[in-house]
Amino acid sequence: MHRLALLLVLLLAACATHSMMVVPATQWQPKDPALQEKARVLRQVSRSVGEAAARECRRRLRSANCDFVILVDPSSKAPANAFLTLDEDGRPLIIFTQPMIASAQNAEEMAFVMGHEVAHHILGHIARQAENSRESARIFGELAREQGKDDAGVESAQALGAEVGAQNYTREFELEADRLGTKITHAAGYDPLVGMVFFQRIPDPGDRFLATHPPNAKRVEVVLQTARQLGLR
């Protein structure tokens, strides 16, 4: 059953001072006519990708929460973004910001982005990233202690370790999510090769240390490889 109220306030753990009003994609009614059409496409995509994702999720993980909820942050001032978070019951929430929806050129792009986000959940990335971050914080802290740092020094080494641990692995997770996301997009009836064109519009993070996303060229390569395995072109 849907326990979400029409509007709910999410306090994001990463940024405690930032609260966000979100609305279920099924109930989002923007005033702008151009956005109304996109809202209609989003509802359709949410249904097909949600079903394909739930099938893949249940097939792989018997005990996980596979009941995906697609939400919209209707603020036009939010950055163009889509991301996964979990509610207090561990239910996966995929949040699309209004500018992200506005920037999608077609249903395939929306499906591709959604497929990528649901894949993060199916692959257990939130828990795995937290684990990597804790482990890296522990190692950095130990090294600082061995070097004779005081408590404050150890603490700041741990904080840096947590950040490095989280970010270092994020790039790997992004490629894993692109791979499974491509399969889910295809299973939902959308062409991932059309959907991935959206990579061309997001800034390329290149190959920097601490870049949270892999370079776009690498992501395109992973999608093409997966599409070949699926027999698409």
* x-or-dash string of contact with Zn ion, 45-64, rule CB under 5 A: --------------------
Shortest separation between residue 82's beta carbon and Zn ion, angstroms: 8
Position 63: which residue type? S
β-strands 92-97, 69-73: how paired? parallel
**Least distance from Zn ion to the Cβ atom of residue 145, Å:** 34
What is the smallest separation between the CB atom of 202 and Zn ion, expressed in angstroms?
Answer: 11
CA 64-69-75 angle, 5° bins? 140
Per-residue binding letters, 11-50, with Zn ion (x by CB under 5 A): ----------------------------------------
Smallest distance, Zn ion to C-beta of residue 224, A: 18
Q: Which is nearer to Zn ion, 38 or 219 (CB)?
A: 219
Q: Which of residues 120-179 bind Zn ion (CB under 5 A)?
A: 174, 177
Contact present, 46 and 110 (Cβ < 8 Å): no
> Between 35 and 82, whose beta carbon lies closer to Zn ion?
82
The stretches of the chain forming alpha helices (DSSP H) are: 33-60, 98-103, 107-122, 125-146, 151-187, 192-195, 216-229
* DSSP state letters, 126-164: HHHHHHHHHHHHHHHHHHHHHTT--HHHHHHHHHHHHHH
Q: Which is nearer to Zn ion, 39 or 120 (CB)?
A: 120
CB of 143 to Zn ion, least distance (A): 30
CB of 183 to Zn ion, least distance (A): 15
49 vs 157, which CB is nearer to Zn ion?
A: 49
Say how far apart CA 157 and CA 135 lie, in whole Å. 13
Tokens of 29: 């009614």
CB atoms within 10 A of CB 33: 7
In terms of CB distance, is 175 or 197 closer to Zn ion?
Answer: 175
Q: Name the site residues for Zn ion (rule: CB under 5 A).
A: 174, 177
